[in-house]
């Protein structure tokens, strides 16, 4: 028996901020942003909507999509670096709002690899028969920690939430292999500074990401007993199209077999991989039985990847 995703949901804020909008706010250009990052627009949450609001909406949608009731959930894991406040956790807030009275609840901090850490943690509890269902949410309101005076970072990020209900799936479906990792010595390259803003050494993160995404993706394929030729679709963390392209090329996949949701949403950190998965499912690009590789990296530094056969 494997653990796999049995329901998905997301919450994407309505407000679209285009590169042209950013040109009016800072010394940047649509051309620079598109060619250096692949981003065309991003969504920004309204002032009255905090991360917990986005997380609740995404979770509600995922539970409905899974066809279970909230009180069947044994554990809620919310991956985020932008909780409403340090405590109570978003997981506890939405546990109450969802009526998930039987669920333990905690937030998880692994930056952009958070959703991968969440999926892999959920897998352990399900395959050990501890819980039947685990709710994993990735949510960020990065706009509230963005320094809008810093063009190096302000053009990159967006807000949003994704949620997955994990449960038992058939033998040949679900998460087949995983890799999680961290290198705390790289924490200085991407962090929240004392002013509360994102601070980043883009070039260092870029080098790390190019190396790690390709390596982790190849590792999980091998651990699952497959070759890169067997992969049907790649869902990389949506941070920079050039980083994503290098991972795709290492796997030898054609362009149409990788998600490029980054164009519409920018980098939504913990929400990025789940959101990209939903985007491609809705576009009809992922089918039952497809071999997927999901791979992310982020501040910490952290990374995580899974090989997954799609379906229940
Ligand atoms: O989820 C994980 C989060 N982070 C990442 O994944 C980030 C990884 N890194 C990157 O994506 C890239 O390093 C960036 C997109 C952040 C930057 O791209 P780059 O090709 O590494 O640019 P750079 O930092 O080498 O800067 C090149 C130039 C600089 O000008 P000078 O010094 O050459 O005159 C920057 O000042 O581009 C300038 N620049 C900009 N120009 C217009 C930096 N940001 C902007 C901007 N608009 N927004």
205 and 266: one domain? yes
pTM, 2 dp: 0.97
Same domain, 233 and 270: yes
**Cβ–Cβ under 8 Å, residues 280 and 259:** yes
Whether residue 160 sits in one domain with residue 109 = yes
Atom of ligand 1 nearest to the CA of 203: 13
Q: Given the CA of residue 153, which atom of ligand 1 is nearest to it? A: 16
Q: Indicate whether residue 240 lines ligand 1 (CB < 6 A).
A: yes
Looking from the CA of residue 151, the nearest atom of ligand 1 is: 48
Q: Is 168 exposed, middle or buried (0-12, 13-18, 19+ CB in 10 A)?
A: middle
CB distance 28 to ligand 1 below 6 Å: yes
Please indicate, yes or no, whether residues 192 and 155 belong to a single structural domain of this protein.
Answer: no
Structure tokens at 126: 């399900």
Q: Report phi then psi at 310, rounded to 5.
A: -70, 140
Count CB-CB contacts under 10 A for residue 14.
9
Number of domains within the chain? 2
* Same domain assignment for residues 11 and 158: yes
Q: Which CATH number fits the domain that encloses residue 179? A: 3.40.47.10
43, 109: one domain:
yes
Q: On the CB side of 273, how many CA atoms lie within 13 Å of its CA?
A: 34
Q: What is the pLDDT of residue 1?
A: 83
Whether 49 is catalytic: no
Domain boundary pick from 135, 168, 201: 168
> Helix, strand or coil for residue 179?
strand
Q: How far is the CA of 156 from the centre of ligand 1 (A)?
A: 9
211 CB near ligand 1 (under 6 Å):
no
Are 122 and 248 part of one and the same domain? no
Q: Are residues 162 and 180 in the same domain?
A: no
Known catalytic residue at 193: no
Catalytic member of 11, 92, 112, 162: 112
Tens of pLDDT along the chain (312 residues) come to 899 999 999 999 999 999 999 999 999 999 999 999 999 999 999 999 999 999 999 999 999 999 999 999 999 999 999 999 999 999 999 999 999 999 999 999 999 999 999 999 999 999 999 999 999 999 999 999 999 999 999 999 999 999 999 999 998 899 999 999 999 999 999 999 999 999 999 999 999 999 999 999 999 999 999 999 999 999 999 999 999 999 999 999 999 999 999 999 999 999 999 999 999 999 999 999 999 999 999 999 999 999 999 999
- Rg of the chain (C-alpha set): 18
140 and 40 fall within a common domain? yes
Beta bridge partners of 190: 200
**Domain carrying residue 12:** 2-168
The answer to whether the CB of 5 falls within 8 A of the CB of 122 is no
Which residue lies with its CA nearest to atom 43 of ligand 1? 152
Q: Which of 168, 184, 206 is the last residue of a domain?
A: 168
Cβ atoms < 10 Å from Cβ of 255: 9
13 and 76: one domain?
yes
> Taking Cα atoms as reference points, which of 304, 281, 290, 249 lies closest to residue 8?
281
Active-site position among 53, 197, 237, 240: 237
Q: Are 68 and 7 in contact (CB under 8 A)?
A: yes
Q: What distance in angstroms lies between residue 77's CA and the mean position of ligand 1's atoms?
A: 33
Pocket of ligand 1, candidates 37, 206, 245: which has the most ligand atoms within 8 Å of its Cβ, to mutate? 206
Which of 36, 31, 96, 302 has its CA nearest to residue 185? 302
* Residue 92 designated active-site: no
């Amino acid at each position: 028996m494997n653990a796999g995703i049995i329901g998905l949901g997301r919450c994407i804020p309505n407000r679209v901020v285009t590169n042209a909008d950013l040109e009016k706010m800072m010394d940047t250009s649509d051309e620079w942003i598109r060619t250096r990052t692949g981003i065309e627009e991003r969504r920004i949450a309204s002032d009255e909507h905090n991360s917990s609001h986005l997380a609740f909406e995404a979770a509600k949608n995922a539970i409905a999509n899974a066809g279970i009731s909230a009180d069947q959930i044994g554990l809620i894991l919310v991956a985020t670096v932008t909780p409403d406040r340090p405590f109570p956790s978003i997981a506890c807030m939405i546990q109450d709002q969802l009526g998930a009275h039987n669920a333990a609840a905690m937030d998880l901090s692994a930056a952009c690899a958070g959703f991968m850490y969440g999926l892999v943690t959920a897998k352990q509890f399900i395959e050990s028969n501890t819980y039947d269902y685990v709710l994993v949410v990735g949510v960020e309101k990065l706009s509230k920690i963005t320094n809008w005076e810093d063009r190096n970072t302000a053009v990159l990020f967006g807000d949003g939430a994704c949620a997955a209900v994990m449960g038992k799936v058939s033998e040949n479906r679900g998460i087949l292999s995983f890799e999680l990792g961290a290198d705390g010595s790289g924490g200085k390259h991407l962090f929240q500074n004392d002013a509360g803003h994102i601070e980043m050494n883009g070039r260092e993160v870029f080098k790390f990401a190019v190396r790690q995404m390709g390596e982790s993706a190849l590792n999980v394929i091998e651990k699952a007993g497959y070759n890169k030729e067997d992969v049907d679709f790649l869902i990389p963390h949506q941070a920079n199209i050039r980083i994503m392209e290098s991972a795709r090329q290492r796997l030898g996949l054609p362009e149409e077999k990788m998600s490029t949701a980054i164009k519409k949403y920018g980098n939504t950190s913990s929400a990025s991989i789940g959101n990209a998965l939903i985007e491609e499912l809705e576009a009809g690009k992922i089918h039952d039985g497809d071999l997927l590789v999901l791979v992310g990296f982020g501040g910490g530094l952290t990374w995580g990847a899974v090989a997954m056969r799609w379906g229940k």
